[in-house]
Each structure stands twice: as C-alpha cells, then as structure tokens.
Amino acid sequence: MRYLWLTALTDIVESLRARWFLIYTLVFGGLVVVLFAYGLAESRIMGFTGLSRLLLTYIQLAMAILPVFVLITTVRSVAGDREAGVFEYLLSLPIPLSAWFWGKIFGRFFVVFMPVFLALVGATIWGLIKGGEIPWDLLIYYSALLMALAWCFLGIGMLISTLARSSDVAQGAAFVVWLTLLLFLDLILLGVLIQEHLPAETAVMIALINPMQVFRTATMMLFDPQLVLLGPSAYVILDTFGQAGYITYALIYPIVVGVICASVGYFLFRRSDLP
C-alpha cells in the first residue's frame, strides 16, 4: 500500500504542474463564475430557483465537458509519458506494477475530480454568502454522480492508454469513444429507433449501457421524478428500476464500468511491454 500511495502522490504532484491541469481547473472554475455572472443563481425559470438552478446547469455542462477532458488528458499524459521515457526510468525502480498502475489511477482520480468538486462547493459557498438556501440533497447527489462519471471515464482512459502504443493513436481512440457515447445520447439512438423500428426496451437498454446517458437521466430524475422530459422510455426505466433503484444504478454502474476497464487495462499492462 505504501508504494501505491507514493505513486498516487507522485502522479498528483506531476499533474498539478502540468498545463492541462491549469486549463482543466480554469474551465470548471470559470463555468461557475460565468453561471453566477449571468445571474443564474437569481433566476426563476421552470420552477427551479437559486442555487438549485445553478447546480443543475453546472451538472449538465459538466456532463458534456468532464468525460472528454478526463479521457483526453488521461490518455495524453499516460501514453505521452510512455513515449517520452518516463515509464522507462520510473519503472526501472523496484516498484510493484500493481502499485504503479493503481496508484496512477487513484492519483489521477483525485486530480480530475477535485477541481469539479471544488467548483461545486465554491458555488454552494457563494450561494450561501448571497443568502441562498443550500440544496444539500442535490449537492451530495450530484457530487456522487460526478465522482462516478469521472471514475468511469478514467478507467476507460487507462484502458485506451494501455492498448494504444502512441499518444496520437490514444488521443484519436479516446475522442472516438467519447463521440460515440455522445452521439448515442440522442442522435443515433433516436435515428436507429425510428429507422429500424426497435422496441422501446432495446432503445432503453442501449441508453442504460451508455454511462453518459445514465448520468444524464439520473440528473433529470431529481428535479423530474417521473422523467416526463424523457418521454415514453421513462415508463420502462421506472417500471424496471423504480426511482431509488435507478439512482442506485446510476451511481454504481459507471463505477463498475470504470473498474472493469481499469482492471482489463492493468491485466494487459502487466503482460505487455512497459515503456
């Protein structure tokens, strides 16, 4: 365990000094500032007011940005480090491969989740100062959802980094994965549904496999418990899971996907050339 935390700490220190981290932090911090600047915390639209409205908008934006940021930065830095000879040197030191790989994941998770989470907390504190009411349930639920989403895409990113032998290939693959999942949110899913006359259950199943859609539906559920916005597929989801069941699924499923991808990545990493 000592080596695992040491690697995690090393990765955190490396990342904190990287340019991508600065941009990443500025994007999420900037989002909150922009949302406040445009008065979203004071808006009264569709029944959602104050801080709840702001958190809701923030989480929807995070869904679009977080996966691609996590994927690209992970594959870029991990595959880039391998290309640049960082792996060759650090893995010549007597550190277990398991501690190296998982330490890197845990360190990276801390680095990608913290700015997103701190922006969320910052928004809440600012709202509190402004005299708003803190929606604790939303805050805790959204934090947990963001954590699950970040972990999921981190696992996918580590798997891609292990499979791809160059950072260019890794970045391309990461972008394709993100784009595919993004398109399956609505565009392709609806198209296939209409063209192929797919049963609603199949379409819902595809949606339930896509971690981005799972996240999206879960965020809707808190302000729209009947999932009216989702249309008829809401019946399948609610009949199958129930509200509490779906919320649990939305928290556990992305973590499971992340763990499976990272584990496959680790298995391949152990068996392949390291640098």
Chain residues that interact with another protein, rule: CB under 8 A = 2-3, 6, 10, 13-14, 17-18, 84-97, 271-275
**Least distance in Å: CB of 93 to another protein?**
5
Q: How far apart are CA 263 and CA 159, in angstroms?
A: 8
**Least distance in Å: CB of 27 to another protein?**
20
**Least distance in Å: CB of 161 to another protein?**
16
If one counts every other C-beta atom within 10 angstroms of the C-beta of residue 246, the result is: 20
C-alpha distances in angstroms, 11 versus 4, 77, 101, 275? 11, 10, 11, 17
**Least distance in Å: CB of 259 to another protein?**
24
- The CA-based angle 12-18-22, given to 5 degrees, is 100
Burial (Cβ within 10 Å: 0-12, 13-18, ≥19) of residue 232:
exposed
Minimum CB distance to another protein smaller for 82 or for 216 = 82
- The CA-based angle 181-183-185, given to 5 degrees, is 75
**Least distance in Å: CB of 251 to another protein?**
34
Minimum CB distance to another protein smaller for 39 or for 94 = 94
Minimum CB distance to another protein smaller for 86 or for 264 = 86
Minimum CB distance to another protein smaller for 93 or for 228 = 93
Minimum CB distance to another protein smaller for 88 or for 201 = 88
